[in-house]
Every structure is written in structure tokens, then in C-alpha cells.
Structure 1
């Protein structure tokens, strides 16, 4: 039995939807505002969310964006009385899977719900396995950072959108020591449950070693490599970019183990001249020993660092053309005057526009950071 969250502040509409969906055999929960919707979506496992756009305090667009930023992959159907193309496109760009215009026809809504549930990973599994998969997904989502340690000289934001119920991508913000922040993005080979299990190992190992080793990023990845190599076979490995930022000096120390090179846009670059923080070693988990290699660079106010996985650069459009580094660099240059949240949203909006009509096949993860 699929479990659906109905989010609508009009009691009559919420009651009507609840009654109709229960008659169809669905388990239904109701939230009356955006804040409650976010709280319940994080605390409970739902198969689908029916989300009204016009909500008090926190509208449906904001709710959708907030849920996607936490890595929640549950299908979202937006209910809207707005018919303008801009509003529909905005909802889809923020991560909604579909929309239904009010007043809606019951048969159409039922059909769209069935279609969304069929598209959801695990939709062909039995109820018990679906429930276990949802529970595992909820546990995994709690591994992603919920808080951002406040730094006076760095504005930063992250995002992860799994291609399946479970993610093989991982990002983290690590409170290494007072005034020192760790930024990490990892991409585990493969997808689904095996990749998610390895991702959890990466999370645990990084969280264990980063406070002890300070800005010794290379040593952190060397120890992560040993842990994965001893616990997995040669077919399982991960690319990792790990950096430590010092609030007072604005120095960034980083190590890159086979990961997609992040983009560094310098504040004095007038024509979007970017640097790439290239890989220094193979991915972690492939070799018995990994050299502890790292680099330190001085950053300045206005510099941008954007770390991402190849789920962004290799995302195809309907013609098979990949999104590529050139597009992401162009977005960074255009949005350089904004906040980290705005930069993250701009990159994702450009990606969704490029990939519209194409099923997402790889996890999408990024961190955007601006030096203040």
C-alpha cells in the first residue's frame, strides 16, 4: 500500500483528497502548511507528496526546494491554480515531478499519481521490500548534513539528488575544529543499495578521521583508502574531493582522489577564467596504499569554489549531448554576484533545463562556496 502525504491549507480540499485516495487503497497523511510538510517528509517515509503551491508561511515552491536540497527523492506532484508557464517551469526546475492545475479532475489526478508511483525506483517490488527500502533511504538521508557551521568568511550550500531510492553520492560539511570547515564530495561507483552501503562507510570513516587529522586532507583520504580496500573488492571504489577551509586565513587545503575537478573562479577574473583543482591520486579503494598528497591555496573575497559529481557534467539532453564543464563554468560566471544558495539553484535549474525529458540515470551532487 503506497503512502501519500497531502499538503494543502484548505481543509475542504485536504479532506476531499484524503477521502478519495483512501477509497483508492492508499494510506494518506495530511499536512496543513509548508513547515509541517517539511517536518513530516523528513520524519516519515512517503511514496508520493501532493503539494499545494499556495501555502501560508512557506509556499510549495520553497517546500519543494528544501526537500530536494536534503536529498529527498520522493515524487512530488504540485497542485496549483496558477496556469502561467513561468510558475509551472519553476516548480519543475525546483524538483517537482509533475503538476496538476486546480480545479483538477479526479480521474486525471489518480492517473498522474499511478504514473508517478510506477516511475519511482522500487515500484515493482513487494510491499515489504518497498517499506524496507524507504526506511533505508530515510536513514541514509540523515547522513547528509542538516546544519551548516557558521563561518564569517565563507558562504556555502550543498545538494544531492539520487537517481534511485538510494544514493551513491555523498556530500558533507565537517566542523573540523573552531574556525575550520571540511568540505567533502564523494561519488561511489555504481548505484542503488551496494553504492549506498559503501557511501555509508565513506561517511563513517571521514567523520572519524577528520577531527583528529585537522587539515591533513591527504592523510584522511589515505586512511579512507585503506579502510575501503580492506573491506571491499576491487570493483568497489569511490572518487573523493576533500578540502579544509580556514576561516581566518582563507587558506584552502585539499586532496583530490580521482574526482571530477572542482571549478575555482577567481574574483579578479573578468572573463570567467577558471581554475580546476585536478585529481592528485587514483580513487580510494583501488590500491592497497594511497599516497597522502594535498595542496594548499590562498583564496580571496569573491572567489567561488564549486565541487560536483559527474552526474552533472555527464547528464545528457534528448540529443545525447552532455551538460559538460563549459556550461557549469558559464553558470558560475553569470551568478558570481549571488549567494551560495542562489548559485546552487542556478546550476541545478540550468541542468534541469538541459536534461528536460530525459530520465535521470546518475546521482547529482554539488557544493557551492563563496569566499567573503
Structure 2
């Protein structure tokens, strides 16, 4: 299992494409040596960045194998298209990109396997954020005036259906805005009385840490969750935080 843990650790982003208008960071703290949460940063070319947080059904080694399967499909599609003369599929047609990922995931996993996934395409030139929420928890945007927005689900989970469609939505970020992607290991962590950390505690932490660099912010939120649950972690905890310059 230690060898599996080391292999899976290499599947998380090892480098971060530099952007002029966005600082960002991600973290995944697994409940076991290996797990099913997945986050990624994708260089989509043309000054665009892809950000993904996904949660695979199941636990432990089985979920880790499904996670590596999903990650391989995502990375291979982005790499194969970005190496050609035209732009990556995720830039011009994110719906088609996600539909292809879903089809490949469906074809290479057991019938009951599925994943929730939040996909973001960030345009560094315009600060435009295009997203698709595939059955995942709502992403949060904290505007510089302290207004909180939720990017809710607009697609079904991935992997259960071959005839799967999705849609994307858009918003524009301003300097000082921050957005947060996370898995249910954050909000569904519970203490000894069975009380959940919940979205209300997450949004409180988000407000409290909004002025911290993203790398410090995600670590601080993880620390809050672990203190709340008295270090007893039952699910993977995954976050991406990004702040617009």
C-alpha cells in the first residue's frame, strides 16, 4: 500500500502553469493511504487554465484505481490536443471534452462506478471563468465586496450513462475575488457528537482566510476541519483555492 500511495501522489499536479491574473493552490489529504479524490491543473494553451476537483465513488484502493483511470483520460485528452496545431478541445468545446471523458470513463469502469466532477476553464486574459458542475458540490466565489456566490450543479454525475450531456456556464472575476472548489470530505467531516462541519463552517473559514495566499488558505481550512473532527478523518479532504489579482 505504501508503494501505491507513492504512485498516486505523483498523479496530483507536480507543476503549476504561471498566470498573470490568478494565484491558485490545491491540496488533497487522504483518509487512507490511497483514495478517490482527484484535483488537477491543466495547461489548456492560449493563456487558459483548467482546474478540476473530482470525487470517485467508493473508498481505498478501488477508488484510487478509478481515480487514476479518470485522471489518465483527462490528461491524455488535453495533451493529445495541445500537441497539435489547433487548440485543446477543452478550450473551444469544454462540453465535448467532458462528454469524451465521460464516455471513456464509462467504457473502462464497472457499471456502478461514477464520479462527481467540477471543471473550470479560466481565461487569464479576460478573467472569464467557464465551468461545468457534474453532480459535484457547489463551488464558492467570494467577491471583493464580501458577497458570496454558489456555482451549483448543472450536469449529471460522470460514468453512469454513455449518452451523457452537459452544459457550461460563465462568470467574470474581478481583482480581489476568490473562488473555492472542494470535495464532500470537507463539509461532511463530523465530530464526536455526529455534527457535520457543513457548508456554514466552510464559508465562515473562507471569509476568515480570504486575505491569505491560496496555498496557506487551503492548508488553514484543512486544519480547521481536522480540529473539528478531532483528527478522526473518514473521507478524503480536497480543496482548490484561487485568488484573482
SS class of match (1:221): helix
**1:294 maps to 2:172:** no
Give the corresponding residue for 2:159.
285
SS class of match (1:239): strand
Task: After superposition, give the CA deviation of every residue in 1:34-53 in whole Å (9 maximum; x if it has no partner).
Answer: xxxxxxxxxxxxxxxxxxxx
Give the corresponding residue for 1:159.
27
Q: Separation in 2 of the partners of 1:279 and 1:219?
A: 18
Q: Separation in 2 of the partners of 1:220 and 1:268?
A: 34
SS class of match (2:126): coil
TM-score, normalised to structure 1, is 0.62
Q: Conserved in 2, the CA contact under 8 Å of 1:219 and 1:293? A: no
Higher relative contact order (CA 8 A, sep 6+): 2
**1:324 maps to 2:192:** no
Q: Which runs of 5+ in 1 are unaligned?
A: 1-132
TM-score, normalised to structure 2, is 0.92
Q: Separation in 1 of the partners of 2:161 and 2:140?
A: 27
Give the corresponding residue for 2:185.
311
Task: After superposition, give the CA deviation of every residue in 1:68-90 in whole Å (9 maximum; x if it has no partner).
Answer: xxxxxxxxxxxxxxxxxxxxxxx
Give the corresponding residue for 1:350.
224
Q: Conserved in 1, the CA contact under 8 Å of 2:73 and 2:105? A: no
Give the corresponding residue for 1:371.
244
Match among 141, 148, 154 for residue 9 of structure 2:
141
Deviation >4 Å, runs of 4+: none
Give the CA deviation at 1:194. Answer: 1.1
SS class of match (1:201): helix
Give the CA deviation at 1:324. Answer: 0.5
Q: Separation in 2 of the partners of 1:369 and 1:207?
A: 21
Give the CA deviation at 1:268. Answer: 2.0
Give the CA deviation at 1:178. Answer: 4.0
**1:241 maps to 2:118:** yes
Q: Conserved in 2, the CA contact under 8 Å of 1:225 and 1:289? A: no
Query: Looking at CA atoms only, which structure, 1 or 2, has the larger radius of gyration?
Result: 1
Question: Please, what is the CA RMSD of the aligned residues?
Answer: 1.3
Q: Separation in 1 of the partners of 2:188 and 2:203?
A: 14
Q: Separation in 1 of the partners of 2:237 and 2:182?
A: 8
Q: Give the number of aligned pairs.
A: 236
Match among 253, 266, 286 for residue 143 of structure 2:
266
Q: Conserved in 1, the CA contact under 8 Å of 2:41 and 2:52? A: yes
Q: Separation in 2 of the partners of 1:186 and 1:298?
A: 23
| Bigger helix fraction | 1
Q: Separation in 1 of the partners of 2:124 and 2:141?
A: 18
